[in-house]
Chain A
Amino acid sequence: MTADPTAPGPPAVELRGITKTFPGVVANHDVDLEVRAGEVHAVCGENGAGKSTLMKILYGMQRPDSGTIAVRGEQVKFRSPADAIKSGIGMVHQHFMLADNLTVLENVVLGLPGRFDPAAARTRIGELSARYGLGVDPDRLVEQLGVGERQRIEILKVLYRGARVIILDEPTAVLVPQEVDELFGNLAGLRAEGLTVLFISHKLDEVIRVADRITVLRQGTTVTTVEAGSVTTAQLAHLMVGGDLPTPETRESTVRDEVTLGVRDLSVRSDAGRDLLSGVGLSIRAGEVVGIAGVEGNGQAELVEALLGTRPIATGAVTLAGEDITAWPTSRRREAGIGYIPEDRQRQGLLLTQPLWENRILGHQTRPPSSRGVFISRRGARKDTERIVAEFGVKTPGVDVPAFALSGGNQQKLVVGRELSGSPKLLVAAHPTRGVDVGAQALIWDKLRDARAAGLAVLLVSADLEELLGLSDTLKVMLRGRIVATLDPATVTPAELGEYMTGVATQEATP
């Protein structure tokens, strides 16, 4: 399935046996990737599967520990992105790198060596824009442009520098559907002109739509490369997740009668007044796990933040164990028993330079054993951190080591252990096993099940179907800020789920 001997000429890019380790984590292990000249090649995999690291290696931002890179059949060694650009490789980052107060023209030539000839640059931009159908006006100010146009400028920048291979890192993450369609049109244009596109994504339907071939990464290594026309989303999901989609084990329902979390008509608007969350209603009973499925960026993060009280809401009401907490600040909600496993543990859940026991205090700073009156309790926090370390099998030489020194899985175990401390009523878990190793994942799942059996209500937001189907009692699908379907995880098929997630299928509104 990998190399096609009939492909003409050497591959545009060939990576062989790429391995890259960071302290405590193997980001890439023996990865092979062959990209033919003139194709749109997608690299897909879950978050933490090693896509970004692989692309950083190809773009010269990181050097592999071992393995080789060949561009058009020639072995290369990139020391910096400048080397990669010289070899005709360009990258469009997920987060645009444009100066808002400059014109398109100025942005395109920014950072180029040599003399700046505006007339020549304008001509060249016009040519490129016309040839690849980018529709870029060189004299507009970037700040006046929308997201899709900005992305096209990023692509133009890369083309201007002579790229023949363009890496697009999660290009659709920031786009609305119409913009995605336009982007895909542009990519087709690039391919028609003989350029090679490497498209990084975890959105399966998009990958199948846009790519000629797809390479799937899982846990840092290549699973396979397939022809896009020959797979379905379900098969691709299967390859990404590994193993079959689990039939949730037959288990006793632990759902109790009392409603722990009640959400009614919850709406959140962006600063610009756009609806990020509209009219969301759901309820979670004690001992129940409600899973939220959906393509990322459809309001899941906003829902989590609204429940935590870190994002102002436009309309709606939230109750916790019968009490109206809509107006409560985050601190009071946390004290009332809301635990929170953040999506990004390092950014949202840890003080990386501080010892583990201080991290145990975070979010519990007003409650024993972390504090005593107005003082924090070093002894209580240390002792309870030792308990977490033992119960969750956190691999660490002690509770005095700084959090950054632990591997991702162990950091996550610490976070989960902390958030399950102090008998919370509700746990808001966003991607609780993202980017952790299989062992840690299994342990975290077990602990969540135990807590659920003990009466914890869990809101589980996840992109991992195995996790969603394996843990949830009820499954809700979010699309464009709304809950569009309520499903039974025991009977739902991945195909159905995919259709609801992408809006192909709709369900009558369920209360």
Chain B
Amino acid sequence: MISPLLLRRLGMGVLAPVLALVMAFVIVAIVLQLSGFDAFGVFGRMAQVGFLDKYLIRSLDKAVPYFFAGCAIAVGFRMALFNIGVEGQYRIAALIAAWVGAKLSLPPVLHVLAIVVVAMAVGSAAAAIPAVLKVTRNVNEVVSTIMLNFILGGVGTWLLVSYLRNTSGTGNNTETALIPPSGRMPAADSVLNAIGFQVPPGESVTGLIFVAIALGIVLWVLINKTRFGFGLRASGLNPIAAQASGISSKGMIIKAMLLSGALAGFVGLPELLSNNYKFVSDTFPQQLGFTGIAVALLGRNTPLGIALGAFLFGFLETTTGALQFSANPALKIPTEMALVMQGAILLSVVIAYELVRRFELLLEGRAVAKAAEKLPDPDPEPAGAAA
């Protein structure tokens, strides 16, 4: 009885992403063609360069912060909590962590660990504000987190300019001091080379990729296998039933937001620990929190899905970037086209998944009703209870 159900579920699992990608391809092709580019040439070229080691490695490196951001968002999404504030949370977390990291002098592993802990703590603290507002005053977290993005951004700038900036530095940039080598993350390159990748000279993948993998596994176990995860999912699926079952909605809101904020703390770490080793106000990566929303949607809030989504976004960014250098004007698409592609994929995914989900529910309902009909009436006895 179960195996056909299971088979269909698997089939649907494959159908949704395929449908989404086909839709996205068609949309992007139309946009490119209308803008005067050669759509198939562009796709061909992207596929061609995208799987070259150089670009593959770059995509992988880019995917790491997207993955963290996606996970931070997904934890909230799992309980229907929209932490749009990942953007502000990761930036303030990175700023404080960069400053603390530069001040500290600790042995290598501990130093990195301390920076990670500071980033998580600051991210959590920043996320605690909307959580407390929601629990005590029923303030919608979408509104409060969006507003906090601006507030935290302003607070960060003020802290950096007034207190945290590196006054002994040269250049004109407002930035923190460099984190000493003991507080830096070794690159993943040698490990990647050992397992069959070819990291070309001049390219590098942050060692945080292994942290990301470990975090993904922990997160999956946490959400799917633990009581906490069950409470999180139950609160998201049916808050009223969850409450009646003894799952405190206020408690879950606080816990989920703190966890989401802690994960947001990781988003800026690749820049701090592997790239630039300092927080530079003008060039520190922006918008990762918003990309994370897209990645979480794309990955259906599961760690594996988020990893794939993060890689896809990295891939689009690096390959469209590569097309900049194309000699053929029909292929030389503007970098903004990467955003168009991301948008098209996102829309397609949301639509395709919803379509497939409804179709699946329909089929499943029918199948179960049919299977149940065939069962003998299992009632122990045709009890005339009321008598």
Taking Cβ atoms with an 8 Å cutoff, the residues of A that contact B are 23-24, 243, 246, 249, 308, 310, 329-335, 340, 342, 347-354, 358, 361-366, 371, 374-376, 378, 390-391, 393-398, 400-402, 404-407, 410, 439, 441-443, 445-446, 449, 466-467, 470
- Verify B1–A398 contact, CB threshold 8 A: yes
* A371-B231 Cα distance, complex, nearest whole Å: 12
Contacts of B226 in A (CB 8 A): 374-376
Interface centre among B225, B238, B361 (most CB of A within 10 A): B238
Contacts of B365 in A (CB 8 A): 23-24, 404-405
- Verify A347–B238 contact, CB threshold 8 A: yes
- Verify B248–A342 contact, CB threshold 8 A: no
Give A330's nearest chain B residue, CB to CB: B246
Contacts of A347 in B (CB 8 A): 238, 240-241
* A208-B163 Cα distance, complex, nearest whole Å: 78
* A246-B368 Cα distance, complex, nearest whole Å: 36
- Verify A246–B387 contact, CB threshold 8 A: yes
Contacts of B383 in A (CB 8 A): 442-443, 445-446
- Verify B369–A24 contact, CB threshold 8 A: yes
* A240-B25 Cα distance, complex, nearest whole Å: 59
Binds A, one of B258-266, B307-315, B371-379: B371-379
Minimum C-beta distance from A383 to chain B (A): 15
- Verify B231–A365 contact, CB threshold 8 A: yes
* A246-B241 Cα distance, complex, nearest whole Å: 33
* A342-B237 Cα distance, complex, nearest whole Å: 17
* A353-B387 Cα distance, complex, nearest whole Å: 37
* A295-B265 Cα distance, complex, nearest whole Å: 54
Q: A23-B365, A347-B238, A363-B246 are in contact. Are A400 and B2 (CB under 8 A)?
A: yes
- Verify B386–A376 contact, CB threshold 8 A: no
* A364-B230 Cα distance, complex, nearest whole Å: 11
Q: Which of A329, A376, A398, A406 contacts B225 (CB 8 A)?
A: A376
Please tell me if B227 contacts chain A, counting CB pairs below 8 Å. Answer: yes
Please tell me if B382 contacts chain A, counting CB pairs below 8 Å. Answer: yes
Please tell me if B5 contacts chain A, counting CB pairs below 8 Å. Answer: yes
Minimum C-beta distance from A506 to chain B (A): 30
* A325-B378 Cα distance, complex, nearest whole Å: 39
Q: Which of A23, A334, A402 contacts B246 (CB 8 A)?
A: A334
Contacts of B103 in A (CB 8 A): none
Give A449's nearest chain B residue, CB to CB: B385
Q: Which of A353, A396, A402, A470 contacts B372 (CB 8 A)?
A: A396
* A363-B230 Cα distance, complex, nearest whole Å: 11
- Verify B227–A363 contact, CB threshold 8 A: no
Q: A352-B238, A396-B368, A406-B368 are in contact. Are A365 and B385 (CB under 8 A)?
A: no
* A18-B10 Cα distance, complex, nearest whole Å: 40
Minimum C-beta distance from A84 to chain B (A): 27
Interface centre among B226, B240, B367, B372 (most CB of A within 10 A): B372
Contacts of B375 in A (CB 8 A): 395-397
- Verify B228–A374 contact, CB threshold 8 A: yes
Contacts of B306 in A (CB 8 A): none
Contacts of A439 in B (CB 8 A): 377, 379, 382
* A443-B379 Cα distance, complex, nearest whole Å: 8
Minimum C-beta distance from B242 to chain A (A): 8
- Verify A375–B241 contact, CB threshold 8 A: no
Give B373's nearest chain A residue, CB to CB: A395
Contacts of B2 in A (CB 8 A): 397-398, 400
Per-residue contact bits, chain B 230-252, to A (CB 8 Å; 1 contact, 0 not): 11011001101111111110000
Give B9's nearest chain A residue, CB to CB: A400
* A358-B234 Cα distance, complex, nearest whole Å: 9
The 7 A-B residue pairs with the shortest CB-CB distance, nearest first, are A331-B246, A405-B368, A397-B371, A363-B245, A442-B385, A445-B385, A393-B378
- Verify B227–A375 contact, CB threshold 8 A: yes
Q: A330-B246, A376-B225 are in contact. Are A406 and B372 (CB under 8 A)?
A: yes
Minimum C-beta distance from B63 to chain A (A): 30
- Verify A445–B228 contact, CB threshold 8 A: no
Give B243's nearest chain A residue, CB to CB: A310
- Verify B227–A366 contact, CB threshold 8 A: yes
* A442-B386 Cα distance, complex, nearest whole Å: 7
Contacts of A308 in B (CB 8 A): 244
Minimum C-beta distance from B281 to chain A (A): 42
Contacts of A441 in B (CB 8 A): 385
Give A413's nearest chain B residue, CB to CB: B379
26 pairs, A vs B, C-beta closer than 8 Å: A23-B366, A24-B369, A24-B372, A329-B246, A330-B244, A334-B245, A340-B244, A348-B240, A351-B237, A352-B238, A362-B234, A365-B230, A374-B226, A391-B380, A393-B378, A395-B372, A396-B368, A397-B375, A398-B5, A404-B361, A405-B369, A407-B369, A443-B383, A443-B385, A467-B386, A470-B387
4 further interface pairs, Cβ-Cβ under 8 Å (given A246-B386, A405-B365, A442-B382): A330-B244, A400-B6, A406-B372, A470-B386
* A361-B247 Cα distance, complex, nearest whole Å: 12
Interface centre among B1, B369, B378 (most CB of A within 10 A): B378
